[in-house]
Amino acid sequence: MDSLITAIRVVPLEHYLVLSFLLFSIGMAGALLRRNILIVIMCLELMLNSVNLLMVAFSAFHGDAGGQVMVFFIMLVAAAEVTVGLAILVHLKRNTDGVDINTLNRLKW
């Protein structure tokens, strides 16, 4: 475990910050721009995983295990969340025969 933490610390913290911000932005752009709901859900997962990366990096640099415990909680909750999301999507698919986000236009103003 110690060798792993030293390995993480070889790369400066700024690099982890920049990488996870990049991943977060890519996920955000995808979630906002893509029309296929499955891909939107994938992009949301990417956003959550960029946070996981940041948590682990901070945890190694602070020498505090709390961040890694948090990552487990995030993975668990993300799995539960996406389960619910996919179930809702299956119902939408049955009712409208498609996974295009533009079918969500019945409720406005």
Partner 1 sequence: MSALILISVLGVLVLYVGLFGRKDMLAPVGILGVLGAIALFATGWHIPHELLGGMLEFDGFSTGFSLAMLAITLLVFLFGPDYYARMANNVAEQYALMLFSLCGGILLTAYNNMLMLFLGIEVLSIPLYVLAGGKKYSLRSNEAALKYFLLGAFATAFLLMGIALLYGLTGSFDMGVLAKHIAEAGTGSALLRFGIFFVVAGLAFKLGAVPLHFWVPDVYHGAPTLVTMFMATVVKMAAIAGFFRFVDITGMPDPLARILVLLTLATMLVGNISALRQTNFKRLMAYSSVSHAGFMLLALLSDSGTEAGNGADVGRTLLYYSFTYALATAGLFILFIIAKRANNGDEHHQIFRGLFQTKPWLALCGLAMLLSLAGIPLTAGFVAKYQVFLLAIGAGWLKVMGFGVLMALLGIYYYIMVARELFMASEEPVTFTVSPLNGLVIAACTIGVLLLGIWPQLVGVWA
CB of 89 to partner 1, least distance (A): 7
Categorise residue 76: left if φ over 0, alpha if ψ from -120 to 50, beta otherwise. alpha
CA distances from 25 to 20, 22, 47, 49, 105 (A): 8, 5, 8, 12, 26
Q: Is residue 100 within the footprint of partner 1 (CB under 8 A)?
A: no
CB of 87 to partner 1, least distance (A): 8
CB of 73 to partner 1, least distance (A): 6
Which residues make Cβ contacts (< 8 Å) with residue 27, sequence separation at least 6?
A: 43, 44, 45, 46, 47, 50
Question: According to CB under 8 A, which one of 8, 19, 26, 48 is a site residue for partner 1?
Answer: 48
One-letter amino acid at 43 equals C
Residues of this chain that bind partner 1 (CB under 8 A) = 17, 20, 24, 27-28, 31, 37, 40-41, 44, 47-48, 50-51, 54-55, 58-59, 61-62, 64, 66-67, 69-70, 73-74, 77, 80-82, 84-85, 87-89, 91-92, 95-96, 103-104, 106-109
